[in-house]
Structure 1
Amino acid sequence: MKKKLIALVVGAAAVMPAVAMADVTVYGRAHVSTDFLDDGADYSETNISSNSSRLGFKGDHQINPNLKAFFQIEQQINFNTGESDGGENFATRDTFVGVAGTNWGAVQLGRFDSPFKVARGPANLFGDQVGDMRNLTRVGNARFDERYDNTVQYTTPSLGGFNIKLAYSVYEGQSLVVDENHPDYNEDSDAFSASLNYAAGAFEGSLAYETAESNTGRGERDGLRAAAAYKLTDAFKLVGFYQTVEYDDSDATAVQRDLWTADVYGLGGEFKFAPNTAVKAMYMTRDADANNADSDMWVVGIEHKLDKAVRVYANYALVDNDDDVALTPWSQARTANPGDADASGEKATGFSVGLRYDF
């Protein structure tokens, strides 16, 4: 089914008149790495990983001088296996349609990254790589780095470098579920996310809040996130990160609520010692409410851009766990996530050499 759908999309694009395709862009990312992963106990193996690789179509249409329509369809593609994620679905990543005005901002509807998720951007030095910050921020059912179904989002115009994103997900799945035995069910299956963003000169920062009700897929939770980056010089950038998440779903056990309620702090930097080459490093710590369930992560890496589209890199990351937690530096945004690794109370490490090609 997936192959037929892709063939249909490509075939339709090939026969469309050139004028109809003028504002449609086909884009993507092939991001693959070779990783040596060690859980500190019994697992120590080499893997090939596809890291949030994707294929997408996007475009816009100018309705009048002050109004345009836009769309995007995006699918994850695993370049190490030749498969796409999401079963029979094609649009598993950010997929939406919307309208934008010159003076009033933009409104979009669909399934896409929440403002809270996007807000990590200023401090995201190792996104989709070994050492991604989500290995500490996206834990258990308290995770917030999500795309929500059935979402409407409003983005304000930029004003002095500031903008605001407001997103509301009305429910998950194809249609709203009505439960006559629990009449409040419909009211408890939504999520709200908002961010205040600023970028001007040497500074970039985001402050975000998100809340999900009890009948969303992972239960009731609230989170606050702040991320910032400041260029001290043209060559050196300093980044900082903070997140606090409260997981208080009534269906969870007290142990689960304490394990998943946590504060995360991070500090890092990037230094360009050549025009296309940079070294990066970051330290993060996760402080859980539960006793003996904290984790620290250290990441160092070097990245070289061969040109605007292609880059290569090498990273080393370590997560040091307390006895009652088993986080790793490789579990997020990557296909190489071995299920038989167990880093409980261990120092889990990952060494990765990667190639990323944006097209």
Structure 2
Amino acid sequence: MPRVSGAIAATTLSCLFLSATANALGPIDGKVYGRLNVTYQYEDNADSDGVWKLENNSSRLGFKGETAIDSGLNILYQLEFGVEVDDGEKDGDTFSQRDIFLGLEGSWGQLKAGRLTIPFKQAKGDFDRFNDLQGELGKIIDGENRLSNTLQYASPELLTGLVAKLAVIPGEGEGDEDDAADAASASLVYKREQLYLALAVNNNIKQQDQLRLVTTWHWGALGEGLFSVGALYQHSKGHDDDFRYIDGKDEADAYGGSAVYALRKNSVKVQYIVSDRSARMSDSSQFSVALDHQLGERSVLYTYYADRKADEREYETRYLAVGLKHSF
């Protein structure tokens, strides 16, 4: 993952602060935002026999904005960095790069260039109820990628609730080929009231071709509460003969389900994912359950349990955690 030095990180922080201060005084039209997410957790696996950790969970700090440059045309920009709440730095660096881009937006859609979360990953929508935690989707399946040197187009609403996205990644002189789009990711998403449907594909992303189908459905049930369920299917295969999964095969399938019931300030979340293989493990499954309690508008106190298993080396790791998340 690309990283920036401590000196650059300090400069970036200064710029963000000055931008926020100047927001009311001049033409600065962006905003500083972020999220801090930390857990105190117990991790039990065959190698460690159980350890206690203070764990950072994808905390971030960013600056983003939109500038009108012509009638109906805007400049979009974002600088977002991961921050380490627990250690203060990771691998000697204070910040790690997340989504960073410059783009244009008009009635024809959005065009962004930079380091971006690709459409295939974005297509999961709200399905992954344990995103950023040890129970998240990407712990046992491939395809959860944020890539550098990405050019991405997002359409306006094509029909009621329907949006398409396409991202291409040039070769930049690496490997035997150097085409305008050595790799690509695309999605078609329908979102209307309680229903969410997504179809996404990858072509030669991390040497894989992939298909992802996702749906979530929300409705009021059980008194005053809100109930939501989701389902996911994913098929993956090697883009060429050089790629093999960890068990030597060249195709993989994964399935998953998630559910959440929210009542007033509390919510219960459950998720189960199973995958026959990935680049890291084979015949794996992951079960997660959580209880969240809303503390004000932007803060959540939560506890969760996750159990990840794989036939590869008879692997199993269990996590029990209590955490606090605050967005600003």
Which region of structure 1 is more displaced relative to structure 2, 38-47 or 276-285? 38-47
Question: With structure 1 as the length reference, what TM-score do the two structures score?
Answer: 0.80
Are 1:264 and 2:254 counterparts? Answer: yes
Unaligned segments of structure 1, at least 5 residues: 139-143, 326-343
Paired letter, 2:300? R
Q: Deviations over 1:105-155 (max 9, x none)?
A: 1111111100001111231111111211111113xxxxx211221111111
Q: Deviations over 1:243-301 (max 9, x none)?
A: 1111244444686542x7421101121111x21211011121112399x9301211111
Structure 1 CA distance for aligned equivalents of residues 243 and 197 of structure 2: 34
Q: Residue 54 of structure 1: which of 34, 54, 60 is its match?
A: 60
2:284/2:308 contact within 8 Å kept: yes
Distance 1:187 1:38, change over 3 A: same
Q: Residue 50 of structure 2: which of 44, 53, 71 is its match?
A: 44
Paired residue for 1:229?
216
1:59, distance to aligned residue in structure 2 (A): 0.6
Paired letter, 2:173? V
Q: Residue 135 of structure 1: which of 136, 139, 147 is its match?
A: 139
Q: Residue 300 of structure 1: which of 289, 310, 327 is its match?
A: 289
Are 1:185 and 2:177 counterparts? Answer: yes
Paired residue for 1:351?
320
Paired letter, 2:188? L
Distance 1:7 1:121, change over 3 A: closer
Query: What is the aligned-residue RMSD (CA, Å)?
Result: 2.7
Higher relative contact order (CA 8 A, sep 6+): 1
Paired letter, 2:307? L
Question: With structure 2 as the length reference, what TM-score do the two structures score?
Answer: 0.87
Unaligned segments of structure 2, at least 5 residues: 1-6
Matches within 5 A, 1:72-91: 72-83=78-89, 87=93
1:321, distance to aligned residue in structure 2 (A): 2.0
Q: Deviations over 1:148-171 (max 9, x none)?
A: 211111111123001001110113
1:6, distance to aligned residue in structure 2 (A): 3.0
Are 1:95 and 2:104 counterparts? Answer: no
Are 1:241 and 2:232 counterparts? Answer: yes
Distance 1:194 1:85, change over 3 A: farther
Distance 1:221 1:23, change over 3 A: same
Are 1:318 and 2:318 counterparts? Answer: no
Distance 1:346 1:78, change over 3 A: same
Matches within 5 A, 1:268-279: 268-272=258-262, 274-279=263-268
Distance 1:230 1:10, change over 3 A: closer
1:122/1:228 contact within 8 Å kept: no
Structure 2 CA distance for aligned equivalents of residues 15 and 270 of structure 1: 39
1:300/1:315 contact within 8 Å kept: yes
Paired letter, 2:97? T
Distance 1:200 1:18, change over 3 A: same
Structure 2 CA distance for aligned equivalents of residues 232 and 168 of structure 1: 36
Distance 1:125 1:15, change over 3 A: closer
Paired letter, 1:145? E
1:122/1:206 contact within 8 Å kept: no
1:165/1:196 contact within 8 Å kept: yes
1:189, distance to aligned residue in structure 2 (A): 7.7
1:347, distance to aligned residue in structure 2 (A): 3.1
Structure 1 CA distance for aligned equivalents of residues 243 and 290 of structure 2: 38
Paired residue for 1:163?
163
Structure 2 CA distance for aligned equivalents of residues 33 and 178 of structure 1: 39
Distance 1:252 1:245, change over 3 A: closer
> Higher strand proportion, which one?
2
Paired letter, 1:286? S
Paired residue for 1:328?
none
Structure 2 CA distance for aligned equivalents of residues 130 and 178 of structure 1: 33
Distance 1:354 1:289, change over 3 A: closer
Q: Deviations over 1:184-225 (max 9, x none)?
A: 431398210000111111101211001126xxxx4x210111
Distance 1:202 1:222, change over 3 A: same
Indicate the percent of aligned positions where both proteins have the same amino acid: 30
